[in-house]
Structure 1
Amino acid sequence: MPQRFTYGAHAEQFGELTLPQDGRTDRGTVVIIHGGYWRAKYSMELGRPLAADLAGRGWVAVNLEYRRAGNGGGWPETFDDISAGIDALADLPELAGAPGPVIALGHSAGGHLAVWAAGRKDPRVPLDGVVSQSGVLDLLRAQELGLSSEAAENFLGASPEEDPERWEAADPVRAVPAPVPVFVLHGSEDTTVPVELAENYVRAAKAAGGTSELRLIPGDHFEMITPGTAGWAEVLRAVEDAAGNTSG
């Protein structure tokens, strides 16, 4: 059963830790960051099946909740939460001395946050790799396309014209290269997040000297968060690859 931990006083500042049945923590830790276009009506329930499956395969799974647009999130609160939630792993006694890599796994808006988290300054718990599942990795383009009723502007609380510095700080495609490998998965039948956002990110990352790879995989926007599907099998392979690309 997942064990709940908190990393702040707000009701949404918590996570769920699921350990493998044998209790070992040396394979590595996967931090799951759910999507939902950063809106409050979507919660960590989206990540629970992923956590259970990963733990069943020997990974430590951390399903992270955070403040979102509509319940206290946005700029900078959501970003503060993602950073604090990952860093809280350093204080969990169950993970004391765990030698394995720490991989961020994010879907859709969670993919945006996972890639952003790789570039945090002086983190207590640095990431060793990132797997993005149809992530919103180019915020300006998402805004230009008006995705999900201009979800990006709703999330950041200002238009790009009103606060360009905020948009630059929040946008993964403008913070390349990430200091760790970034595996960018995108569903071949995804109509929720256009593949061009993934292509834009990988192109920019490679041009900046980063390590990033685009993988088009079977299925729509949700197959990658459905254990047992071909899309989920590709996610598992990418997590393995992200762990294998670590230096620790």
Structure 2
Amino acid sequence: MVTVYWVFTSLMGIATLTALIPGRALGWWVPLWFLVSTATNELAVWGLIMHLLMLAIGVTFFDPSDPFVRSALCVLMLSCLGTLILLRRHFESGRQLERALQAGLPPSFEEMIPLDRRRRLSRQITAKDWLHPISFARHGVRRERNIAYGEAGKRNLLDIFTPVRSGSDRPVLLQIHGGAWLVGKKEEQALPLMHHMASLGWVVVAINYRLSPRATFPDHIIDVKKATAWVRQNIHKWGGNPDFISVTGGSAGGHLTALTAMSGNYAPWQPGFETADTRVQAAMPLYGVYDFCNRVGIRQGTRIDDYIMKKVMKSTPEDDPEAFDRASPVCWVDGEVPPLFLIHGSHDTLVWVEEARRFVAELSAVSSTSLVYAELYGAQHAFETVHSPRTSHYLNAAAWWLEWAYADWCAKRP
């Protein structure tokens, strides 16, 4: 039993280390580092409880004079300290998000939101959410599942989250799941955000889209645009305002979110529905890939480029430079761009934070659009998929920004 205890505590220490240190350029170890780091980081509250429990077990049931037990307890205490550091980073993310909003929005952006909507918003977080990390349902939210928006079977289905209370002309949020353009479902990601925004009176739509390797880009973005056109035509039946559609997504969904925002009404990506209005009024991409060509070599130590060429594009930038340019949001920065709120974690193992920094710099240099960029120190890829103190701060900031974007759009309407 002493050996088992020592091994288990050592594994806990290693897991805490992966969450504290960004693992980059690790080759085939990157996915494992990401999975262990994300679970340890985002479940840090429960990790702390586990550490305290293991310390109590070690002190109560084992002899502290045993070298193995003593070394296990030392590792456990260091790991516990590391977990406290992780939790401090979680709580500090609230200030980071608030500074980003203050820097990117007008000084009086809160007052632009109507009082009846502003009263629903908060900057406080409570333990009732992050002590239940995978409990997503919110009181007063209804979900209608598996509505077809296209002809591609289950890959062209969507879910709609609405408030139970009847209403009309509610702002709409479209969620695009991630999964490296290869996997993922509408039921798996952004559940905290979707339930939260529906509870605040929004209509939220989560979509599937065709995936690689069966699908080849631009199939993915065509489906997103097809869903956008469907929402614009039909969402009034669920109480949504078809004139205001915001879009969000993480990872591959972050890439598609940025591309959707910047390529509105691009006819070649609207086969059969060329005249449909696919513009969106606001976009919130999370930890996305913004340049398929990797022009400045940010992804030099990753395998993403080979993957994109072989599985997603099925060509190379040399063979089809125009297609790679069109697939890169960074190549659309001089076009018409709605308000953007970009969020990226400093410890992202899969998509390095420099990618977001570069995209923000390129966009800031040529566009007059409202741009908010929040870089969350210590956050990993997919940080907001479960409830945590960091997720709670993110939900508050996302709600403030989305409400401001809607209020700003309303103020500018004829």
Q: Which TM-score band (shorter chain)? A: 0.7 to 0.9
Question: In the alignment, which residue of structure 2 is the partner of 1:19?
Answer: 162
Question: In the alignment, which residue of structure 1 is the partner of 2:286?
Answer: 133
- Give the deviation of 1:97 after TM superposition: 6.9
Question: In the alignment, which residue of structure 2 is the partner of 1:152?
Answer: 308
Computed over aligned residues only, the root mean square deviation of the Cα atoms, in angstroms, reads 2.4
Please state if 1:180 is matched with 2:338. Answer: yes
Secondary structure of the residue aligned to 2:205 is: strand
Paired amino acid for 1:196: E
- Give the deviation of 1:48 after TM superposition: 5.9
Identify which range, 156-165 or 218-227, moves more after superposition: 218-227
- Give the deviation of 1:81 after TM superposition: 0.5
Please state if 1:109 is matched with 2:252. Answer: yes
Please state if 1:206 is matched with 2:364. Answer: yes
CA displacement 1:47-96 (0-9 Å, x = unmatched)? 361322321222111001100103x3222211210110111012325247
Structure 2 segments unaligned to the other structure (5+ residues)? 1-142, 266-274
CA displacement 1:143-175 (0-9 Å, x = unmatched)? 655444733222112111111010111110011
Paired amino acid for 1:14: L
Contact 1:181/1:210 (8 A) holds in 2: no
Contact 2:345/2:380 (8 A) holds in 1: yes
Contact 1:75/1:155 (8 A) holds in 2: yes
State TM-score, norm by structure 2.
0.55
Secondary structure of the residue aligned to 2:237 is: helix
Contact 1:182/1:242 (8 A) holds in 2: no
Q: Give the count of matched residue pairs.
A: 246
Task: Report the Cα distance in structure 1 between the residues aligned to 2:361 and 2:305, rounded to whole angstroms.
Answer: 26
Alignment of 1:87-98 (within 5 A): 87-92=229-234, 93-95=236-238, 98=241
Question: In the alignment, which residue of structure 2 is the partner of 1:238?
Answer: 401
Compared CA separation, residues 151 and 59, structure 1 to 2 (3 A):
farther
Structure 1 segments unaligned to the other structure (5+ residues)? none
Paired amino acid for 1:201: F
Higher helix content, 1 or 2: 2
Compared CA separation, residues 16 and 83, structure 1 to 2 (3 A):
same
Give the structure, 1 or 2, with the largest relative contact order (CA under 8 Å, sep 6 or more). 2
Question: In the alignment, which residue of structure 2 is the partner of 1:190?
Answer: 348
Please state if 1:217 is matched with 2:376. Answer: yes
Please state if 1:54 is matched with 2:178. Answer: no
Which aligned runs of 4 or more in structure 1 are off by greater than 6 angstroms? Answer: none
Compared CA separation, residues 74 and 236, structure 1 to 2 (3 A):
farther
Task: Report the Cα distance in structure 1 between the residues aligned to 2:250 and 2:278, rounded to whole angstroms.
Answer: 21
Task: Report the Cα distance in structure 2 between the residues aligned to 1:48 and 1:23, rounded to whole angstroms.
Answer: 24
State TM-score, norm by structure 1.
0.88
CA displacement 1:177-236 (0-9 Å, x = unmatched)? 342111111123222211111111111111112422321125221222334542433333
Identity %: 24
Secondary structure of the residue aligned to 2:307 is: helix
Compared CA separation, residues 36 and 25, structure 1 to 2 (3 A):
farther
Larger radius of gyration: 2
Contact 2:232/2:243 (8 A) holds in 1: no
Contact 1:7/1:85 (8 A) holds in 2: yes
